[in-house]
Amino acid sequence: METALLLAGKITELTLIVLMGFALVKFKLLKSEQSYPLSVIALYLISPSVMIHAFQTDYSPEIADGLWLSVKLAVVFHILLILLGKLSKKLFKLDPLEQAATVYTNSGNLIIPLVMSVFGKEWVIYTSGFIIVQMFLFWTHLRILISGSGNLSWKTIVTNVNILAMLVGVALFVFQIKLPVALDGALSTVGGMIGPVAMLVAGMLIAALPLEAVVMSKRLYLVALLRLIVIPLFLLVFVKLSGIASQGGHSNTVTLISFLATVSPAAATVTQMAVVYGQNAQKASAIYGITTLLCVLTMPLMILLYQWVV
């Protein structure tokens, strides 16, 4: 109950920042497209800083086991998410954008600040498993789904700044190389901006949506229902039946963090790829916006249910 309440409080704070970004555009102080520089800062500076700083921790077998568990959970969860996405496509005649939104979550932008606030900075390291697996799938499965092309850009994958940052962080952790205090402090300070910046960008993007059309669209609510409630319930059943959260050590909290990543809103990357590959970016933005707003209610409820069931 306490974790769910803390989570609800933090999500409420982040939602208020979304509304601030929304207000900047609606009061014509900024334009929605001017969120691009903030997105670049978040992607190429803030997120890598978070990852490298997260791995600046002393080695212990318990931490190593937790990291390995986070990777295994990420692989299993994404396999289940992709399969459930395919099933949803058949049952509800989802188009590629809708299917992608049911599979891929906004785990990086939202989960890292939530974990930092609710569990503490020392737990951010356990988000890396989910994020690195998802990042790989962004540029393979998601790219194919949105573009309709089977050609993979492996260079894009291996040179992605966030994956490189994680690899650097892992290397520093394995060899127990400590960065200078000033540098690590700078990374920590910059990384602390990830929540506010991501939510400001979300608010500025949402401000450009035709809100009346979004509110009246039953199709968008269907996708939101699948992304925020139905699919997470299937994953919760898997967690309960597998007993993976009861293996001792950090397994309970690591599993909770991984599950938290699966109940978050649709990934902003779906919108970005819709723009790049000439798909309906406005629809993708609407799905992103409505799932981001509704998660204020659904995420705490899902975590409360997780704690009750597991």
Assign 3-class secondary structure to 165-191.
HHHHHHHHHHCCCCCCHHHHHHHHHHH
Q: What is the pLDDT of residue 88?
A: 96
Residue 266: beta bridge partners? Answer: 105
Q: Give the type of residue at 178.
A: K
Strands (E), 177-240: none
User: Helix (H, G, I), strand (E, B), or coil: what is residue 267?
Assistant: coil
Whole-number average pLDDT of the chain = 87
Which range among 38-47, 65-74, 165-174 shows the weakest confidence by mean pLDDT?
Answer: 38-47
Query: Residue type at 198?
Result: A
- Coil, strand or helix at 105: strand
Check: CB of residue 107 under 8 Å from CB of residue 265.
Answer: no
pLDDT digits (tens, 9 = 90+) for 1-47: 677 778 888 888 888 888 999 999 999 999 988 888 887 888 788 88
Structure tokens at 130: 């989910």
Flag whether pLDDT at 248 surpasses 90: no
pLDDT confidence tier of residue 214, bands split at 50, 70 and 90: low
- DSSP code of 34? G
Looking at the chain, the whole-number percentage of residues with pLDDT higher than 70 is 95
Nearest Cα residue to 162 out of 123, 136, 141, 183: 136
Distances (CA, A) of 138 to 109, 126, 213, 302: 14, 19, 28, 25
Rounded to whole angstroms, the Cα distance separating 129 from 106 reads 14
- pLDDT value of position 167: 87
* 26/18 Cα distance (integer angstroms): 12
At residue 96, the pLDDT reads 93
**Residue 115 belongs to what domain range?**
1-309
Distances (CA, A) of 304 to 4, 7, 253, 299, 300: 5, 10, 14, 9, 6
**HSE on the CB side for 117, CA within 13 Å?**
21
Model confidence at 110, pLDDT cuts 50, 70, 90, reads confident
Instruction: Collapse the DSSP code of 266 into the 3-class scheme (helix H, G, I; strand E, B; otherwise coil) and give the result.
Output: strand
pLDDT of 151 over the 70 cut:
no
Q: Which of 110, 26, 32 is nearest to 285 (CA)?
A: 32
Average pLDDT of span 58-84 = 92
Residue from 298, 206, 296 nearest 13 by CA: 296
Predicted structure pTM score: 0.85
Total domains, the chain: 1
Give CA–CA dist 272/285, Å, rounded. Answer: 9
pLDDT tens for each residue of 132-148: 888 888 878 888 888 87
- Give yes or no for a contact between 197 and 38, defined as CB atoms under 8 angstroms apart: yes
Give me the pLDDT at residue 226, please.
97
> So what's the pLDDT on residue 150?
63
Q: What is the CATH number of the domain that holds 88?
A: 1.20.1530.20
Category of 243 on φ-ψ map: left (φ > 0), alpha (ψ -120 to 50) or beta: left
